[in-house]
Amino acid sequence: MSRSNSVHTALYLFPPLGWWRMINGRSSQIDLGENWVKQSLRSRYDLVGPNGPISLSVPTIKSTRGRLVDVEISYVQDWVTQHIRSVRTAYNRSPFYDFYCPEYEALLESRPITLVDFNRSALSWLMKRLEISGEIDFSETYLGEHDNWQQSSDAYQQVFDERHGFMEGLSALDALFNLGPEAGRLIYKSQS
């Protein structure tokens, strides 16, 4: 099966491994020209904690919700502390939590104004940590229908898998905290 050399997709926040697999080794256009999509991975990421799945959302200012590039993050509630505490509860027993957590926390504490700025920073950080190859271009012109990506089917050791079994479709943060540098190899392994 041959892979197209280019892909266009939405800008997600801490996307799952399946999304990374789709863009890896390709020329990717990220659609910033789309309209705001409520309840999507553009402002949410999923993890697993002691009580099961956790969905963490970045609140946005309602009056700015139109085009994605205009959406501003709300800091009225202290969501940054909530996210940091949730990640600590979920991953402080994981092998690579101490190594990656300070960088994750720095991303959140940088307090970007727009969701696009935050997502781009998170994307850049994960791209380096997962050793993703390829080029990413951001387009403020609406690209139309996005390429589809599939969930990762490669199971790996998760902190709470003895309670919940392996949970797929989580943010790549889950693989990073559990596997460290090996997380990126899951992406390459599935492409061979």
pLDDT per residue as tens digits for the range 46-59: 999 999 999 999 99
With respect to residue 53, please indicate whether it lies within any of the assigned structural domains: yes
Is the pLDDT at 76 greater than 90? The verdict is yes
- Please say whether the beta carbons of 31 and 51 come within 8 A: no
Find the domain containing 59 and state its range: 6-187
* Residue 1's pLDDT band (cuts 50, 70, 90): very low
Longest dimension (CA), the chain: 49
With respect to residue 83, please indicate whether it lies within any of the assigned structural domains: yes
Q: What is the pLDDT of residues 160-184, one digit of tens each?
A: 999 999 999 999 999 999 999 999 8
With respect to residue 163, please indicate whether it lies within any of the assigned structural domains: yes
Q: What is the pLDDT of residues 99-108, one digit of tens each?
A: 999 999 999 9
Long-range CB contacts (within 8 A, 24+) of 138-143: 138/11, 138/29, 138/30, 138/32, 139/8, 139/29, 139/30, 139/31, 139/32, 139/33, 140/32, 140/33, 140/69, 141/33, 142/31, 142/33, 142/34, 143/8, 143/29, 143/31, 143/33, 143/34
With respect to residue 1, please indicate whether it lies within any of the assigned structural domains: no
With respect to residue 18, please indicate whether it lies within any of the assigned structural domains: yes
Of 156, 155, 169, 79, give the one whose Cα is nearest residue 118: 79
CA dist 23 and 175 (Å) reads: 17
46 burial class (0-12, 13-18, 19+ CB within 10 angstroms)?
middle
How many separate domains does the chain show? 1
Is the pLDDT at 191 greater than 70? The verdict is no
Q: What is the pLDDT of residue 144?
A: 85
More confident residue, 28 or 2: 28
Determine how many CB atoms are found less than 10 A away from the CB of residue 51. 11
Q: What is the pTM of this model?
A: 0.92
Q: What Rg, from alpha-carbon coordinates, does the chain have?
A: 16
With respect to residue 192, please indicate whether it lies within any of the assigned structural domains: no
Q: What is the pLDDT of residue 2?
A: 45
Of 76, 60, 73, 83, give the one whose Cα is nearest residue 111: 73
- Please say whether the beta carbons of 1 and 109 come within 8 A: no
CA dist 79 and 132 (Å) reads: 29
